[in-house]
Amino acid sequence: MLATGVLGAADDPWIRWDWISGHVPVIRAALAQHVELTLIAVAIGLIIALPLGVVGWRERILRGPIFSVTGILYTIPSLALFSILVPFTGLTTLTAEIGLVSYTLLILIRNVVVGLDAVPEDVREAARGMGYRPFRQAVGIEVPLALPAIIAGLRIATVTTIGLVTVTFVIGKGGLGSLIYDGLIRDFKTPLVVGTTLSVALAVFADLTLAGIQRVITPWARSRAGT
Amino acid sequence: MSLFEQVARWFADGSHWQGDFGIPNRLLEHVELSGASILAAAIIALPIGIGLGHLRRGGIVAINVANVGRAVPSFALLVIAFELVGLGWPPAFIALVALGIPPMVTNSYIGMGEVDADIREAARGMGMRERAVLFRVELPIALPFVMAGIRTSAVNVVATATRAALVGWGGLGRFIIDGFSQRDDAQKIAGGLLVAILSILVEVSLTGLQRLSVPKGLRMRESVDTTLSKVPAAELSAA
Please check whether residue A107 touches B, CB under 8 A. yes
Q: Mind spelling out the 3-state secondary structure of chain A?
A: CCCCCCCCCCCCCCCCHHHHHHCHHHHHHHHHHHHHHHHHHHHHHHHHHHHHHHHHHHCHHHHHHHHHHHHHHHHCCHHHHHHHHHHHHCCCHHHHHHHHHHHHHHHHHHHHHHHHHCCCHHHHHHHHHCCCCHHHHHHHHHHHHCHHHHHHHHHHHHHHHHHHHHHHHHHCCCCHHHHHHHHHHCCCHHHHHHHHHHHHHHHHHHHHHHHHHHHHHCHHHHHHHHC
Domain that holds residue B225: 25-237
**Nearest CA distance, A74 vs chain B (angstrom):** 10
**CATH of residue B140:** 1.10.3720.10
Domains: count for chain B = 1
> In this complex, which of B166, B192, B228 lies closest to A3 when CB atoms are compared?
B166
Those residues with Cβ within 8 angstroms of residue B42's Cβ, 6 or more apart along the chain or in another chain: B100, B104, B150, B153
Find residues 144-173 of chain B whose CB sits inside 8 Å of chain A. Answer: 155, 158-160, 162-163, 165-168, 173
Q: What is the pLDDT of residues B228-237, one digit of tens each?
A: 444 443 343 3
- Answer whether B94's CB lies under 8 Å from B85's CB: yes
H or E stretch covering A24:
helix A24-58
Q: Is residue B228 part of a domain?
A: yes
Alpha helical stretches, state H, B130-232: 130-132, 139-160, 173-181, 185-212, 219-222
Q: What is the pLDDT of residues A33-90, one digit of tens each?
A: 999 999 999 999 999 999 999 999 988 899 989 999 999 999 999 999 999 999 899 8
**pTM of the shown model:** 0.85
A41: left (phi over 0), alpha (psi -120 to 50) or beta: alpha
Q: What is the pLDDT of residues A109-160, one digit of tens each?
A: 999 999 998 888 899 899 989 989 888 888 888 888 999 899 999 999 999 9
Measured between its terminal Cα atoms, the distance across chain B in Å is 50
Contact B228 A114 (CB under 8 A): yes
Q: Is residue B8 part of a domain?
A: no
Find residues 125-144 of chain B whose CB sits inside 8 Å of chain A. Answer: none
- Report pLDDT for A10: 55
**Nearest CA distance, A131 vs chain B (angstrom):** 30
Please check whether residue A162 touches B, CB under 8 A. yes
Residue B119, phi then psi, degrees to nearest 5: -65, -40
Those residues with Cβ within 8 angstroms of residue B149's Cβ, 6 or more apart along the chain or in another chain: B45, B49, B103, B104, B105, B106, B107, B108, B111, B232, B233, B234
Please check whether residue A81 touches B, CB under 8 A. yes
Residues of A in Cβ contact (< 8 Å) with B165:
2
Find residues 71-90 of chain B whose CB sits inside 8 Å of chain A. Answer: 71-76, 79-80, 82-83, 86-87
Nearest residue of B to residue A186, measured between CA atoms? B83
Contact A80 B239 (CB under 8 A): no
Contact B67 A159 (CB under 8 A): yes
Residues of B in Cβ contact (< 8 Å) with A187:
83
Q: With a cut of 0.90, is the ipTM above it?
A: no
Residues of B in Cβ contact (< 8 Å) with A107:
235
- Report pLDDT for A183: 87
Local structure of B56: helix, strand or coil? coil
Name residues of chain B where pLDDT drops below 50: 222-239
Q: What is the pLDDT of residues A1-15, one digit of tens each?
A: 444 444 445 578 888
> Is the CATH number of domain A26-219 2.60.40.420?
no
Residues of B in Cβ contact (< 8 Å) with A71:
203, 230
What residue spans define the domains of chain A? 26-219
- Report pLDDT for B168: 87
Q: Is residue B139 part of a domain?
A: yes
- Does A223 have pLDDT greater than 80? no
* Nearest of B136, B187, B186, B134 to residue B165 by alpha carbon: B187
Interface contacts A/B by beta carbons within 8 Å: 161
Please check whether residue A88 touches B, CB under 8 A. yes
Residues of B in Cβ contact (< 8 Å) with A149:
239
